[in-house]
Amino acid sequence: MCGIVACRVRDHAAPVLLSALRNLEYRGYDSVGIAVSTEIGTLARIRTVHRIDDLEHRVNDWNGARLGNVGIGHTRWATHGAVDEANAHPHCDCTGRISLVHNGIIENCDELRATLTTSGHQFSSAVDSEVVCHLIEARLAESSDLFDAVQTAVTQLEGSWALAVLEESTGRLVAAAHHSPLLLAHNDAGTFVTSDPAAVSEWASEFHILRDGDVVEAGETLRWRNSGLMIDPPTPVDFARTHSPAELRGHSDFMDQEIDEQPVLAAKLIDELGPAIANGRLWDELGLPPFDALQIIACGTSMHAGRVIAQTLGRLAAVPTTLTLGSEVAYDVVLPRTLRLAISQSGETADVLRALDHPVPTEVRTLALTNNPHSTLSRRADAVLAYSAGPEIGVAATKTFVAQVIVGVCAVLSALVSSGRLSVTATLELVEQLRRLPVQLTTALEISRRVVPAIAHDLSTASGFLFLGRGSALPYAAEGALKLKELSYRWAEHYPAGELKHGPLALIEPGTPVVAVENGDPRLRANISEVRARGARVVTVGYDGSTIPVLTGEPTPWGPLEAVVPLQILARAVALELGRDVDKPRNLAKSVTVE
Ligand code: F6R
């Protein structure tokens, strides 16, 4: 999703911005641009709706005034307005005095735009962010101080923002944040502002994290305000360990590499957590109170992991669970003694963060399950389970799903044994089953790599896919369908197999691909016969005798996790057959920072 970088360095800002923007590419974007100070006190604004390579060519071809040492840059993932150069960031005010990049959504943009237009401001884009430029311009007409102007302008905004504002002639740089991540590093190499520390990890590892309402002038020294009052910068946080750069190691794309990493990752997580499960230590160390109900808050793939975790809890101890999509939380009733488990690999998903604002009884606590221990979600939660899956560069989640399931299941088992709902003996048996997962995932990888490409070739011309499962297999069928649709851009839906006869059978025509994920439930066979009878091309992921026979162990409360491997490989292979970019599928963002 949208990404911000800004810097004040000793030498040239443009190469730093280009390199930092490249580091943000994995988040997904549809246009990119920079604005850089020049030696004659103007701003050079260069934008493109193509890739960063194209931006680099445009920067190299720049024949205006020599580019200077301060600049801002942005990767845009369109929310307001079409994907075109006029809508690409940075945006400018009427005079061109300031340029600005923005992440988030200005919710009162229409009202502000109408007022500003009436008072003579001229807009050159359809983007909500541009209103902020004109608000700052209006404030600068009253007081020529950029820091004050940004401070006053943000008080007129509703919604979410991470902003970096650059002034021509002075080269002053001001950042502001509210409900959208923004970090600032200030060190010997320069000053860096970014929405994602991975972008500037080459120059900075320690960052001050902007809080809601912060406005900061990033000059030779930092001037920091919160809600208008001058304060000291918050203590910096070291991000070095969590943001090690990722590189391809013999794989053609990151998705392929990240699928391959899953068995080793599973082994690492189970080795780390295994000894702390049956003695309850994993749960006890979180310092959370006992709970009688669980509410899972998540989106997309993280919700599928949440479904697995909820089912495990329900099956083992009949603890009531609610699954709440982050964007739908307003309609939930949360009882006291509920644990809220917020799951998000990025820890920055706006829907999840906003869901945490929903009022709940005071005793309700929030546990975060995330791959980003320094994320906004981690800071907002009462306790954090950080699963350290390493950087996931493929935009579609793969290894983080496996990590979420394993860590979430380990935590559930530990909580149950700690509260006496599960015996130590039963827990130890379940831990033994978890320990088999790395081998099961490896077997699934080997079989899938052999069998799936031909199936994908065969199915790649299909216009739509149905994924079926029952019970514990259903979250995996859902994940298979999501992976296929986001990577191949083909329709793919999942259904509880028993529901087919209540309507969705109408979708089956001769040749319709139906992927059925087994979990040992004998009733699935009857459902498969129903679709076969109507001419479906059936692919079964299951035990011996299946089309993709990856399941080996006995059924577990968390279901057939290894079944996700062929589903990921199928989605990737179909996408490649169709010529898609599997690491950067269209319209999908790695960190969805808008609601
Ligand atoms: C799917 C995918 C998305 C994310 C969803 C939540 O491959 O990547 O569905 O799972 O946007 O993201 P996080 O986990 O960062 O909250």
* Per-residue confidence in pLDDT tens, the chain, 595 aa: 689 999 999 999 999 999 999 988 877 788 999 999 999 999 999 999 999 999 999 999 999 999 999 999 999 988 777 888 899 999 999 999 999 999 998 999 999 999 999 999 999 999 999 999 999 999 999 888 999 999 999 999 999 999 999 999 899 999 999 988 999 999 999 999 999 888 999 999 999 999 999 999 999 899 999 998 999 999 998 886 555 556 888 999 999 999 999 999 999 999 999 999 999 999 999 999 999 999 999 999 999 999 999 999 999 999 999 999 999 987 788 999 999 999 999 998 989 999 999 999 999 999 999 998 888 899 899 999 987 888 888 889 999 999 999 999 999 999 999 999 999 999 999 999 999 999 999 999 999 999 999 999 999 999 999 999 999 999 999 999 999 999 999 999 999 999 999 999 999 999 999 999 999 899 999 999 999 999 999 999 999 999 999 999 889 999 999 999 999 999 999 999 999 999 988 877 777 766 6
For residue 157 the two structure tokens come to 């905004």
- Domain co-membership, 258 together with 230: no
Cα angle: 346, vertex 249, 389; to 5 degrees: 25
Which of 211, 238, 265 is a domain's end point?
A: 238
Q: CA-to-CA distance for 566 and 572, rounded, in angstroms?
A: 10
> Is residue 445 domain-resident?
no
Rg of the chain on CA atoms, in Å = 25
Q: Are strands 173-178 and 31-38 parallel, antiparallel or unpaired?
A: unpaired
Query: Chain-centre distance of CA 537, in angstroms?
Result: 33
CA-298 nearest atom, ligand 1 = 16
> Is residue 260 domain-resident?
yes
Q: Whose CA is nearest to atom 13 of ligand 1?
A: 344
Question: What is the torsional sign of CA 51, 57, 59, 63?
Answer: negative
Query: Chain-centre distance of CA 213, in angstroms?
Result: 23
> Is residue 172 domain-resident?
yes
Q: Whose CA is nearest to atom 11 of ligand 1?
A: 300
Q: CA-to-CA distance for 592 and 168, rounded, in angstroms?
A: 31
- Domain co-membership, 262 together with 366: yes
- Domain co-membership, 401 together with 260: yes
For residue 322 the two structure tokens come to 């609610």
> Is residue 444 domain-resident?
no
In one-letter notation, the amino acid at residue 570 is: L
- Domain co-membership, 321 together with 382: yes
For residue 290 the two structure tokens come to 């006992």
Pocket-forming residues, ligand 1, beta carbon under 6 Å:
299-302, 344-346, 349, 352, 396-397, 482, 486, 591-592
The residues carrying an active-site annotation are 2, 590
Distance 401 CA to ligand 1 centre (A): 9
For residue 257 the two structure tokens come to 């590499």
For residue 123 the two structure tokens come to 């807009």
Distance 28 CA to ligand 1 centre (A): 12
- Domain co-membership, 462 together with 387: no
SS3 annotation, 372-384: CCCCHHHHHCCEE
Distance 299 CA to ligand 1 centre (A): 6
Count Cβ atoms below 10 Å from residue 301 Cβ, excluding itself: 23
Q: What total number of domains does the chain contain?
A: 3
Count Cβ atoms below 10 Å from residue 361 Cβ, excluding itself: 10
Which of 435, 461, 482 is a domain's end point?
A: 435
> Is residue 446 domain-resident?
no
> Is residue 443 domain-resident?
no
Q: Whose CA is nearest to atom 12 of ligand 1?
A: 344
For residue 57 the two structure tokens come to 């060519």
- Domain co-membership, 258 together with 323: yes
Q: CA-to-CA distance for 258 and 392, rounded, in angstroms?
A: 7
CA-396 nearest atom, ligand 1 = 7
Domain that holds residue 459: 452-595
- Domain co-membership, 474 together with 575: yes
Name residue, tokens 């070095």.
240
- Domain co-membership, 79 together with 147: yes
With the most atoms of ligand 1 within 8 angstroms of its CB, the residue from 345, 348, 488 to mutate is: 345
Q: CA-to-CA distance for 538 and 466, rounded, in angstroms?
A: 10
For residue 515 the two structure tokens come to 């992927």
Distance 588 CA to ligand 1 centre (A): 9
